[in-house]
């Protein structure tokens, strides 16, 4: 178990673990790059609709109203359980929003209820108690998947004799280049490797 999604991504990327749990956002980042570019991933295992929650008496019922409250109010703090959750919705929030990270969702909900946070992002699970909170739809369905270590996805042939890297990687063939550093990296899903 790793305490946050950044560390999980690091351990998957460096090969310490074989894969993540099967519910990581494809929209997150790893090492400053989108996850879909920096890690391999499984087929989509789920799609979840995210929401923000605010206090039931906050009079904030839409995403536009939430962004107006962030832009004009004194409390700009929005709670997230992890960096991947924030990354998946940061572009729909006002630029002045302040992300607060806490892995315990109950703590975040209580901080919304007591006014420490203006809102909390909820990426999955049971709807919050409607007597305490109001839901605001993000309008985003986020695909989830297991993450795997990224293998090299190209064939390096110094003399460019074989430019069909995809065919080489998928067949297990070797490069036909004559240079001393010719190599093939087999796709991680190649059953011949």
Note whether 19 and 146 are within 8 A (CB): yes
pLDDT at 167: 45
Helices (H), the chain: 5-13, 35-38, 63-72, 83-89, 105-113, 165-171
pLDDT at 85: 86
Residues in contact with 78: Cβ distance below 8 Å, sequence separation at least 6, in sequence order: 52, 70, 93, 97, 98, 99, 100, 117, 118, 119, 120, 121
pLDDT at 60: 96
pLDDT at 158: 54
Residue 178 token pair: 């004559």
d(CA 124, CA 140): 12
Residue ranges in the chain whose pLDDT is less than 50: 161-193
Task: Report yes or no on whether pTM surpasses 0.75.
Answer: no
Looking from the CA of 41 toward its CB, the CA atoms found within 13 Å total: 24
């Amino acid at each position: 178990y790793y305490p946050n999604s950044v560390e999980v991504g690091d351990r998957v990327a460096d090969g310490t673990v074989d894969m993540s749990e099967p519910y990581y956002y494809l929209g997150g980042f790893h090492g400053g790059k989108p996850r879909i570019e920096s890690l391999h991933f499984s087929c989509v295992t789920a799609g979840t609709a995210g929401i923000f929650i605010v206090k039931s008496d906050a009079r904030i019922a839409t995403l536009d109203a939430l962004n107006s409250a962030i832009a004009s109010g004194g409390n700009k703090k929005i709670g997230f359980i992890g960096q991947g959750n924030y990354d998946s919705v940061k572009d729909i929030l006002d630029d002045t929003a302040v992300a607060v990270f806490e892995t315990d969702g109950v703590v975040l909900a209580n901080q919304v209820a007591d006014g420490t946070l203006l809102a909390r992002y909820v990426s999955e699970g049971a709807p919050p108690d409607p007597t305490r909170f109001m839901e605001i739809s993000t309008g985003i369905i986020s695909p989830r998947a297991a993450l795997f270590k990224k293998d090299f996805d190209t064939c390096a042939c110094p003399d460019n004799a074989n430019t069909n890297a995809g065919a080489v990687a998928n067949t297990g063939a070797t490069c036909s280049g004559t240079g001393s550093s010719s190599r093939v990296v087999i796709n991680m899903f190649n059953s011949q490797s």
